[in-house]
Structure 1
Amino acid sequence: MSDSELLSRQEIAAIREEIAGAVLRTPEGLAESLERDPESFLRLVAAARIGAEESSRLLREAIQGARAAGHSWDSVGSVLGVSRQAAQQRFAVKASAVKPGSAEGGADGTAAPDGGPVRRVITPVTAFNEMAELDAAGHDGWHLVDYGTLFLVVEASDRAWEHRRVFVGQRRRMNADGWTQVGSGSFPWGYYKRPVDRPDSPDAS
């Protein structure tokens, strides 16, 4: 399965145009200065480098999202135009980088070694059930503190919590509504949490 089977020619062209446009538009006055200022080409190189780094990050996170949604390395490699082995070697998250068992308190919900809050790991989860898992955990007083491919790390508290997963670019709105971002996000989503008051009784409003 290739790009052209998943995206139309128009969509591919539009994505490329948007990326090129962002590189030219975002640095103030860059596009205009290219007509007269040789130094501006160094700013163009810097802007293009940032764009390339961000595109690379988005690709890695999109691949981890595809894996969390249940897609095999064969499928991912097919889209990338490489073998399963090549895709896995390049994009698999190293066990030492993100390891559920390394979370404080481990997977069994025990106290952290330094006496900190109790943490537990919810695994395996996918893109399709992780929010249901967080809803249940938040109701019981657990809130999200970390996450990775196929796992969530939650921490115990004496309050109920609600969690939201929203597309990137909505941080300002979420913060304005009292949500706190967890981590830096995992393209295409950002994860947010906020405490909620428990009702004093079943009849409380």
Structure 2
Amino acid sequence: MSDAPQLSPEEEARIREGIASAVLGASEGLAASLEHDPEGYLRLVAATRTGAEETSRLLREAVQGARAAGHSWDVIGRLLGVSRQAAQQRFAPKGTTVPEGSPERRVLTPLTAFNEMAALAEAGLEGWELVEFGPLYHAVVASGRQWEYRRVPFAVAGRRRRMEADGWTEVGTGSFPWSYYKRPLTDAPAKDDHAPAQGA
């Protein structure tokens, strides 16, 4: 891929307007308070800080998703307006070296919301345990036993306690709009020693 895709000016304007609208609408009456209340500007700073933190997190996840989908640091750097090296230094996962003797690791990619659960189900039966996920990918390690997986809406009150009571363990801390859970199916060994399918 020689040229990094660009958004149209209209698409960029919609994103900017959406973010500004979300920040101004986050706190009840914030926009109106700016006409008469000096404290409103401090609430605006707090709301904007939260928006900046969230957009920074989304950018990191988007870059990780692009890498998982096979895009080069060179293309990503051009989209970000920085060099390949600068993009890699800023966004490459830290501490990704695998210690000696660690279980075999595979990355299921590219995945979408529509095929990831089928890919995880197949991998689980083959003895792959989910340990990490991000946009368009799930990372699994060889475990020798079968696993089952569940995807549930991110912030349903009381869901985590109920899942844990049923033997499920949350993987990571969730990623809007989903949380992912795993539990061993049985003590039966994995179906075979083949690597899980890449995608579905």
Q: TM-score band (shorter)?
A: 0.5 to 0.7
**Residues of 1 paired with 2:106 and 2:147: CA distance?**
21
Would you identify which runs of 4 or more consecutive aligned residues in structure 1 move more than 6 Å?
148-151, 176-180
**1:138 and 1:163 in contact (8 A); partners too:** no
**Residues of 1 paired with 2:49 and 2:29: CA distance?**
18
1:22 maps to a residue whose letter is A
Instruction: Report the TM-score, using the length of structure 1 for normalisation.
Output: 0.66
Q: Which residue of 2 aligns with 1:137?
A: 123
Instruction: Report the TM-score, using the length of structure 2 for normalisation.
Output: 0.67
Percentage of matched positions with identical amino acids? 51
**Residues of 2 paired with 1:172 and 1:191: CA distance?**
8
* DSSP-derived class of the 2:139 partner: strand
2:39 maps to a residue whose letter is E
**Residues of 2 paired with 1:124 and 1:194: CA distance?**
16
Of structures 1 and 2, the one scoring higher in RCO (CA 8 A, sep 6+) is: 2
* DSSP-derived class of the 1:87 partner: helix
**1:144 and 1:152 in contact (8 A); partners too:** yes
Q: Which residue of 2 aligns with 1:54?
A: 54
* DSSP-derived class of the 1:182 partner: strand
* 1:76–1:138 Cα change, 3 Å: same
**Residues of 1 paired with 2:74 and 2:122: CA distance?**
33
Q: Which residue of 1 aligns with 2:181?
A: 193
* 1:23–1:41 Cα change, 3 Å: same
Q: Which residue of 2 aligns with 1:182?
A: 171
User: How far apart are residue 151 of structure 1 and its match?
Assistant: 6.4
User: How far apart are residue 159 of structure 1 and its match?
Assistant: 6.2
User: How far apart are residue 172 of structure 1 and its match?
Assistant: 4.5
* 1:26–1:75 Cα change, 3 Å: same
**Residues of 2 paired with 1:147 and 1:99: CA distance?**
17
List per-residue Cα deviations over 1:19-48 (Å, max 9, x = no partner): 001111011221111111101101101111
**Residues of 1 paired with 2:144 and 2:22: CA distance?**
42
Aligned-residue CA RMSD (Å): 3.7
**Residues of 1 paired with 2:54 and 2:45: CA distance?**
14
Q: Which residue of 1 aligns with 2:109?
A: 126
Q: Which moved more, 1:137-146 or 1:147-156?
A: 147-156
